[in-house]
């Protein structure tokens, strides 16, 4: 390298003339360097800066999307917990309502059973009293018919033998006796 610099310094003209010895034209190299710098600056301002800006915006959107996704996950967990608690409450309420319905049905059945038993007892009591009344009425009818039969038979038999006064006294005595018998049966 010192030889190259020494050769360039010999004629004292342009220090970059030694490059022409290697086949490089320094004016062309400088113009290409300036062109590259212009293209680099243009690319930086018109391509890289917008790409970096879009990339930054996209990164922000991605980060916001991740934050939103995390928030949505938390909201989903909260909603799931709320739904689970609501379902648990609904199940407990349904069990309570079902239990109350069963208890109510049992009470209704018990009340209906008691009412049916009371009505059956009432019907039995009415039947028993009706039976007693029918029995008493039949006894009265039987006594009445029997008294009439006895009176008729006695009248037929005694009518031939007794006088009309004796018959009247006998009828009065039979009526008194019949009245006494009816009075004892009623007690």
C-alpha 114/C-alpha 171 separation (Å) is 57
Q: Residue 116 pLDDT > 80, yes or no?
A: yes
Of 159 and 16, the structure prediction assigns the larger pLDDT to 16
Average pLDDT of 155-183?
Answer: 75
* Residue range 176-186, pLDDT digits in tens: 887 777 666 65
DSSP 3-state of 166: helix
Tokens representing residue 39 in the block:
């293209």
Average pLDDT of 98-125?
Answer: 90
Element containing residue 122 per DSSP (H, E): helix 49-161
Q: What's residue 149's pLDDT?
A: 75
Q: Residue 141 pLDDT > 70, yes or no?
A: yes
- Could you tell me what percent of the chain has a pLDDT over 70? 83
Question: Among candidates 25, 18, 13, 20, which has minimal Cα distance to 3?
Answer: 18
Tell whether pTM > 0.95: no
Domain ranges in the chain are 2-186
* Residue range 2-28, pLDDT digits in tens: 554 454 444 556 666 777 788 888 788
pLDDT band at 166 (very low <50, low <70, confident <90, very high): confident
C-alpha 51/C-alpha 40 separation (Å) is 15
Give the relative orientation of helices 49-161 and 164-186 as an angle to the nearest 10 degrees.
Answer: 160
């Amino acid at each position: 390298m010192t030889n190259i610099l020494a050769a360039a310094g010999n004629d004292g003209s342009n220090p970059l003339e030694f490059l022409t010895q290697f086949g490089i034209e320094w004016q062309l190299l400088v113009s290409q360097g300036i062109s590259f710098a212009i293209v680099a600056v243009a690319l930086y301002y018109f391509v890289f800066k917008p790409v970096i800006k879009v990339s930054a915006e996209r990164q922000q959107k991605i980060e916001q999307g991740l934050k939103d996704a995390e928030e949505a996950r938390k909201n989903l967990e909260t909603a799931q917990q709320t739904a689970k608690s609501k379902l648990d409450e609904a199940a407990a309420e349904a069990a309570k309502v079902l239990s109350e319905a069963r208890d109510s049905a049992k009470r209704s059945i018990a009340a209906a059973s008691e009412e049916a038993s009371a009505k059956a007892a009432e019907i039995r009591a009415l039947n028993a009293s009706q039976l007693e009344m029918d029995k008493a009425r039949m006894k009265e009818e039987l006594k009445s018919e029997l008294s009439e039969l006895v009176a008729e038979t006695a009248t037929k038999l005694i009518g031939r033998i007794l006088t009309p006064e004796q018959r009247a006294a006998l009828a009065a005595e039979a009526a008194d006796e019949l009245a006494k018998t009816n009075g004892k049966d009623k007690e």
